[in-house]
Amino acid sequence: MARNKRAKVRTTVSSSADSSHQNMGSVRKSVIFLCVVALIYAAYLVISGQWGEFIESLRTLNNTWVVLAMGAYVVYFFFGVLAYVLAVIDDPKSPVGIRDLMSVEATGIFFSNLTPNGTGGAPAQIFRLSRTGLSMGGAGALQYTRFIVYEAGEGIFAALMLIFRGGYFVETYGNVFLIGAALFGFKIVEVIALLAICLAPRLVMRLGNAVLRLVKRFAPNKDLSKYRSFLDTQVLEFSRGFSHAARDWRRMLATLVVTLIQLGWQFSLPWFVLKAFGIEADFLTCLACGSMIELLTSAVPLPGGTGGAEGGFAFLFAPMFGSEVAAGFVVWRMVQYFLPVLASALVMGLRSDSGVSINTRWRRVRTRFQSFWTSIKRKKRISPNGARINPHRLRHKKRSRR
């Protein structure tokens, strides 16, 4: 039995390592692809006669607001790490440290941005978590739960923006707003599907196998073994990890709140870019448009949502940027995409070597704060001449004065 378990763990680790190597190959192709896209975009500006206007717009740029936009992305990164911290802070035996979680968040940013549909993010993060000493089951449970909460957060954020800014979308974009509503509907279906996997894994496995048998009937030469393997192992691990985390609903709710705040900082980046060009804009409207762009880019099966990001930004922010929309997109894409990819490549190498768990660190901080607070209370109870003040006598004196 133990031998089988060890063999299963070795197989899972090996498959995760293979997945990581495949992701690196996909990353190299994606970098080449994005360079080609950048050249095409530059060629379009030259051919369309917008190059001079583009350069002139960049000359008037207020660099202070660009730096603030970079700072906003750093805050986004901080809340991403905090979401992971909340997941492990109650476990005194967890081997994961703060630097490890910074590396995990950076790994997600790097591989999600450089693989089609962000498919390389979660496997790379699970593999990175397993390198901390966490079991593959524990790493998968932690990452799957974080993934579900993040996806749910995107759907909830989009719903809130549609409630508060739905009228603006209809007035400004007319019937095209239906595309945004359809994207929101797609996100809701995605979250429901993830919850179905978590709450009814056996049913999902039966339906999935039925679909695979149907596919095999029409394509007998197609190899479906990896899909069967996913259904047999990943769905159950996904469900177990979520069920374990969902027992502590308060922590799940706190993680969701942190995720919503994190997304708010990401979606606020266009507002900073508008300020950099000296353009005043409504902050909530920028959040709503940023949320819609995120839904659009996640629906495009290309690295970084290429095509969806350009088209979505040009369409949604053209009324605000006007003729400077091309320059605005370049600055936004630099802050929101290219610089984070470069920075995350540097942060991915961080390791926690202290061996002290986050739970232990948190208890130390809490103990020190309690000691500090107790000392302050004691000082308040001591009179200027050094005598200790009895709070009961103080109450008696107040009553006698009355």
C-alpha distances in Å from residue 160, one per residue of 163, 165, 176, 277 = 5, 8, 19, 28
Residue with tokens 């009228």: 167
Q: Which residues contact 33 (CB under 8 A, 6 or more apart)?
A: 302, 303, 306
The two three-digit tokens of residue 11, written as one number: 């197989």
Amino acid of residue 190? E
CA distance 186 to 172: 22
Structure tokens at 340: 């984070």
350: enclosing H helix or E strand = none
CB 140 within 8 A of CB 237: yes
What single DSSP character describes residue 303?
Answer: B
Residue 36 C-alpha from the chain's centroid: 27
**Residue from 241, 220, 216, 240 nearest 228 by CA:** 216
- For the segment 213-233, what is each residue's pLDDT rounded down to a tens digit? 887 777 777 777 777 776 777
98, 132, 226 from 215: Cα distances, Å = 45, 39, 14
- The single-letter code of the amino acid at 273 is V
What stretches of 193-291 adopt beta strand conformation (E)?
Answer: none
What's the rounded Cα separation, in Å, for the pair 177 and 235?
35
Instruction: State residue 10's pLDDT score.
Output: 41
- Per-residue tokens: 187: 């996100």
Three-class secondary structure assignment of 156-190:
HHHHHHHHHHHHHHHHHHHHHHHHHHHHHHHHHHH
For the chain, residues with pLDDT lower than 50 are: 1-18, 394
* Contact (CB, 8 A) for 285 and 176: no
Whether 23 contacts 115, CB under 8 Å = yes
pLDDT in tens, 96-126: 889 999 999 999 998 888 877 777 788 889 8
pTM > 0.85: no
